[in-house]
């Protein structure tokens, strides 16, 4: 491995590239020392004791204190993975799952996919023997024989620690509702309150009633531990047991890991700036020119503005008269290749300064060493859903004060740092920025959430025990759409076979606009950079289709079939352009909202009369992204309920 002395106190830093067998011996001692220096190490015994004695343990600790990488290892060392059991650790983000799994594998001196594995949608790097066993039903006897033959050899390297997205764990519940193979489930980054995390918390609370052997750890950087504890403690029908000693205890334990962050000085702009990208670039160059060594982390909102900033920064750094040669400029967002990820995590060479331009993934999910300066736009892309118009929007909106503090904290990991909030003034921050964010559950379209719960047999969705209740209007909208799609029947149960088939397929094809930016980005990147991946995904979908009895048929070159299929899934997103409208303005059939085709679309100047979009993005206007043209008669054909139900007849 590449070893580099840190200027501060000689901390030895091992590069994050995968260890080869020969490198382990050399790097191991220093990694062990590094592990012991983490704040969470002092709490090792306390954590193990609390997990042993409590059904739920809530752990709060500063980003970088070692929660994600260390706690699963402590649990394994204490025997929680013995007897073929698995320790799970969930993350809201795919990239975090991959990065953390490879870090932990490196610390343990194993390869990813052996004792330490990870699973994200379309990617399963857990032990192959386990993995194959899930295909037993397909390949039948042959694999069974192979399985029996090799399992005796492979016992030692079954996956003991598994990192996965919370969405994937939810999906696993469809096959194994009580998640029986897991001994401990650590729901990490719980403060993010993603939809999947919230559904998961609600379901895990139910599972706990049936499995006294299961332990939960809820961990995050900032969480209102008390309300989370109250959620897990409040149980119907348990009152009579108060005062009785139960093992494990049902009242959650709360542990706060003392951080060791350094002081971070905050700088604001004196006047709001107008050119966002230019301001980010100027701030970075100013730091590089005036400030002592130390890496820079810039928070922007998504791939688009990150790419624009990188382009401008590269140009300006090249043409600038000042000394800008030492800059290493790197992007960080979901969907990066492994090589790109490694660059971000690898140590900065002496005499250079790394500039990482990131989405809010670097806010708490990932720790970057060596950051001394944070340049924070104060914004992120957030989903907002209006159940009245049934429109879900990705909006660039201010982050909460809690998030802004987290971002600033990234600058104080190795020594006192500085944070530049360059898009708003201090007064604006104090007066206008909300203290906490709103859980995603309360600002999203709930279609896929409802399908998932229904598929798990949870019929009383309105009465489900949520950590944060979703708005009833949004629930009703979701039920309505699913009914129109033929996924739910008159009793709001999944229809057979359609409803069950839809629930099995790990895509959001049936969801109106649930395509969050990160998923879109991922999808795009896969097409651009990894055609092989497309083939794999196709293969996986083909297997699922085969298993649930969908016959595969090629459309040959008849694109109309494809467009009709998309219409069948996204009919709720139909728009038409007003006759004689020269402005490119469209109206949504539902809610008559004004929308425009995004300039990046190939249909931008074509302006077909009728279109269907996949998602909306708000900037100066509401833009439709991923648009196809349709024939309006298809709408009545594929979704007669829907269009009758709303007594909408814009189809002239």
CA distance 625 to 648: 24
Q: 281-294 in b/e burial notation, b at 16+ Cβ within 10 A?
A: bbbbbebbeeeeeb
Q: Is 369 in the site for ligand ADP (CB under 6 A)?
A: yes
Q: Is 220 in the site for ligand ADP (CB under 6 A)?
A: no
Q: What SS3 class is residue 341?
A: helix
Counting residues that bind ligand ADP (by CB under 6 A) gives 16
Phi, psi dihedral angles at 605 (to 5 degrees): -100, -5
Work out how close the CB of 188 gets to Mg ion at its nearest, in angstroms, rounded to a whole number: 6
CA distance 516 to 615: 8
State the angle between helix axes of 21-37 and 94-108 in degrees (0 to 180), rounded to the nearest 10.
Answer: 100
Work out how close the CB of 362 gets to ligand ADP at its nearest, in angstroms, rounded to a whole number: 11
CA 217 to chain CA mean position, Å: 19
Work out how close the CB of 413 gets to ligand ADP at its nearest, in angstroms, rounded to a whole number: 7
Answer with the entry of ligand ADP, Mg ion, none that 72 interacts with (C-beta below 5 to 8 A by kind): none
Q: Are 613 and 624 in contact (CB under 8 A)?
A: yes
Answer with the entry of ligand ADP, Mg ion, none that 99 interacts with (C-beta below 5 to 8 A by kind): ligand ADP
| Closer residue to ligand ADP, CB minimum distance, 33 or 238 | 33
CA distance 183 to 59: 18
The sign of the CA dihedral 490, 492, 495, 499 is positive
Q: Is 340 in the site for ligand ADP (CB under 6 A)?
A: no
| Closer residue to ligand ADP, CB minimum distance, 103 or 514 | 103
Q: Is 63 in the site for ligand ADP (CB under 6 A)?
A: yes
- Tokens at 335, concatenated: 């969907």
Residue from 27, 61, 202, 248 in contact with ligand ADP (CB under 6 A): 61
| Closer residue to ligand ADP, CB minimum distance, 337 or 581 | 337
Residue from 68, 222, 303, 341 in contact with Mg ion (CB under 5 A): 68
Name the one range near Mg ion by CB under 5 A: 60-68, 206-214, 347-355, 435-443.
60-68
Per-residue contact track with ligand ADP, 587 to 616, x per CB under 6 A? Answer: ------------------------------
32-35: list long-range contacts, CB under 8 Å, 24+ apart: 35/66, 35/70, 35/73, 35/107
Q: Is 19 in the site for ligand ADP (CB under 6 A)?
A: no
Q: Is 406 in the site for ligand ADP (CB under 6 A)?
A: no
Name the one range near ligand ADP by CB under 6 A: 66-74, 157-165, 449-457, 541-549.
66-74
Residue from 19, 56, 57, 69 in contact with ligand ADP (CB under 6 A): 69
Counting residues that bind Mg ion (by CB under 5 A) gives 1
The sign of the CA dihedral 214, 220, 225, 227 is negative
Answer with the entry of ligand ADP, Mg ion, none that 205 interacts with (C-beta below 5 to 8 A by kind): none
Answer with the entry of ligand ADP, Mg ion, none that 345 interacts with (C-beta below 5 to 8 A by kind): ligand ADP
CA distance 207 to 375: 43
| Closer residue to Mg ion, CB minimum distance, 103 or 477 | 103
| Closer residue to ligand ADP, CB minimum distance, 251 or 369 | 369
| Closer residue to Mg ion, CB minimum distance, 299 or 385 | 299
Residue from 299, 345, 385, 586 in contact with ligand ADP (CB under 6 A): 345
Work out how close the CB of 259 gets to Mg ion at its nearest, in angstroms, rounded to a whole number: 13
| Closer residue to ligand ADP, CB minimum distance, 186 or 612 | 186
Q: Is 99 in the site for ligand ADP (CB under 6 A)?
A: yes
First-to-last alpha carbon distance for the chain, in angstroms, is 68
Phi, psi dihedral angles at 422 (to 5 degrees): -105, 5
| Closer residue to ligand ADP, CB minimum distance, 114 or 188 | 188
Q: What is the DSSP letter of 615?
A: E
CA distance 294 to 404: 20
Q: Is 360 in the site for Mg ion (CB under 5 A)?
A: no
CA distance 77 to 47: 13
CA distance 23 to 45: 30
Q: Rounded to 5 degrees, what angle do the CA atoms 589, 439, 303 make? A: 70
Please list every residue from 423 through 452 that binds ligand ADP, using CB under 6 A.
none
- Tokens at 226, concatenated: 């008390």
Q: Is 588 in the site for Mg ion (CB under 5 A)?
A: no
Name the one range near Mg ion by CB under 5 A: 66-74, 241-249, 421-429, 573-581.
66-74
Name the one range near Mg ion by CB under 5 A: 67-75, 106-114, 300-308, 565-573.
67-75
DSSP assignment of 408-459: HHGGGSSS-EEEEE-SS-HHHHHHHS-SSPPPGGGGS--HHHHHHHHHTT--
Among all chains, which residue has been given the structure tokens 């000085």?
A: 265
| Closer residue to ligand ADP, CB minimum distance, 66 or 467 | 66
Residue from 1, 43, 50, 67 in contact with ligand ADP (CB under 6 A): 67
Work out how close the CB of 502 gets to ligand ADP at its nearest, in angstroms, rounded to a whole number: 35
Name the one range near Mg ion by CB under 5 A: 68-76, 122-130, 460-468, 472-480.
68-76
Q: Are 126 and 117 in contact (CB under 8 A)?
A: yes
CA distance 303 to 323: 28
Which of 232, 213, 235, 236 has its CA nearest to residue 223?
232
Work out how close the CB of 225 gets to ligand ADP at its nearest, in angstroms, rounded to a whole number: 15
Q: What number of residues does the chain have?
A: 652
393, β-bridge pairs: 384, 616
Which of 342, 286, 276 has its CA nearest to residue 309?
276
| Closer residue to ligand ADP, CB minimum distance, 252 or 370 | 370
Q: Is 103 in the site for ligand ADP (CB under 6 A)?
A: yes
| Closer residue to ligand ADP, CB minimum distance, 365 or 517 | 365
Please list every residue from 27 through 46 that binds ligand ADP, using CB under 6 A.
38
Answer with the entry of Mg ion, ligand ADP, none that 64 interacts with (C-beta below 5 to 8 A by kind): ligand ADP
Q: Closest CB to Mg ion belongs to which residue?
A: 68
Q: What is the DSSP letter of 400?
A: P
Work out how close the CB of 154 gets to Mg ion at its nearest, in angstroms, rounded to a whole number: 30
Name the one range near Mg ion by CB under 5 A: 61-69, 196-204, 497-505, 608-616.
61-69
- Tokens at 100, concatenated: 């953390």
Q: What SS3 class is residue 161?
A: strand
Q: State the burial class of residue 539 (Cβ atoms within 10 Å of its Cβ: 0-12, 13-18, 19+).
A: exposed
List residues binding Mg ion (CB under 5 A): 68
Binding residues for ligand ADP, per CB under 6 A?
16, 38, 61, 63-70, 99, 103, 345, 367, 369
């Amino acid at each position: 491995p590449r070893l580099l002395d840190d200027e501060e106190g000689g901390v030895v830093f091992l590069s994050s590239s995968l260890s080869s067998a020969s490198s382990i011996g050399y790097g191991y001692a220093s990694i062990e020392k590094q592990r012991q220096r983490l704040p969470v190490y002092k709490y090792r015994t306390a954590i193990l004791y609390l997990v042993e004695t409590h059904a739920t343990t809530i752990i709060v600790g500063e980003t970088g204190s070692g929660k994600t990488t260390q706690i699963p290892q402590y649990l394994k060392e204490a025997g929680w993975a013995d007897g073929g059991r698995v320790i799970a650790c969930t993350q809201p983000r795919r990239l975090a799952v991959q990065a953390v799994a490879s870090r932990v594998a490196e610390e343990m001196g194993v390869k990813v996919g052996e004792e330490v594995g990870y699973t994200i949608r379309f990617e399963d790097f857990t032990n192959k023997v386990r993995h194959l066993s899930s295909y037993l039903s397909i390949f039948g006897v042959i694999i069974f024989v192979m399985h029996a033959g090799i399992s005796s050899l492979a016992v030692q390297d079954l996956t003991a620690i598994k990192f996965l997205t919370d969405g994937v764990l939810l999906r696993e519940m469809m096959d194994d509702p009580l998640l029986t193979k897991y001994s401990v489930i650590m729901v990490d980054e719980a403060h993010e309150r993603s939809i999947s995390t919230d559904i998961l918390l609600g379901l895990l609370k139910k599972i706990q009633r049936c499995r006294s052997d299961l332990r939960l750890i809820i961990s995050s950087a900032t969480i209102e531990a008390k309300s989370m504890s109250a959620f897990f403690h409040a149980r119907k029908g348990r009152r009579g047991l108060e005062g009785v000693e139960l093992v494990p205890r049902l009242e959650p334990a709360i542990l706060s890991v003392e951080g060791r962050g350094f002081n971070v000085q905050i700088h604001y702009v004196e006047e709001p700036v107008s050119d966002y990208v230019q301001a980010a670039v100027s701030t970075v160059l100013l730091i590089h020119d005036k400030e002592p060594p130390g890496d820079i982390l810039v928070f922007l909102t998504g791939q688009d503005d990150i790419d624009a900033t990188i382009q401008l920064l590269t140009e300006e750094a090249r043409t600038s008269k000042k000394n800008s040669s030492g800059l290493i400029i790197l992007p960080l967002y979901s969907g990066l290749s492994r090589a790109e990820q490694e660059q971000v995590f690898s140590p900065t060479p002496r005499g250079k300064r790394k500039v990482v331009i990131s989405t809010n993934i670097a806010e708490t999910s990932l720790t970057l060493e060596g950051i001394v300066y944070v340049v924070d736009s104060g914004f992120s892309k957030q989903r907002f859903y209006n159940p009245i118009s049934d429109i879900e929007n990705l909006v660039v909106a201010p982050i909460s004060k809690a998030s802004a503090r987290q971002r600033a904290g990234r600058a104080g990991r190795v020594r006192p740092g500085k944070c530049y909030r360059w898009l708003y003034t201090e007064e604006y921050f104090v007066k206008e920025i909300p203290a906490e964010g709103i859980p995603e559950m309360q600002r999203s379209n709930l279609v896929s959430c409802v399908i998932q719960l229904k598929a798990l047999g949870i019929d009383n969705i309105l009465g489900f025990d949520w950590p944060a209740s979703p708005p009833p209007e949004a629930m009703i909208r979701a039920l309505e759409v699913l009914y129109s799609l033929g996924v739910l029947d008159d009793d709001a149960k999944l229809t057979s076979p359609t409803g069950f088939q839809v629930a099995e397929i790990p895509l959001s094809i049936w969801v109106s606009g649930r395509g969050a930016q990160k998923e879109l980005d991922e999808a795009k990147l896969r097409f651009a950079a990894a055609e092989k991946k497309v083939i794999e995904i196709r293969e996986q979908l083909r297997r699922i289709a085969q298993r649930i009895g969908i016959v595969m048929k090629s459309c040959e070159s008849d694109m109309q079939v494809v467009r009709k299929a998309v219409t069948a899934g996204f009919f709720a997103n139909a728009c038409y352009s007003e006759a004689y409208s020269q402005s490119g303005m469209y109206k949504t059939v539902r809610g008559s909202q004004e929308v425009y085709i995004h300039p990046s679309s190939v249909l931008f100047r074509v302006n077909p009369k009728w279109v269907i979009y996949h998602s909306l993005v708000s900037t100066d206007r509401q833009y439709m992204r991923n648009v196809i043209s349709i024939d309006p008669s298809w709408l009545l054909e594929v979704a007669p309920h829907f269009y009758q139900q709303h007594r909408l007849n814009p189809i002239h």
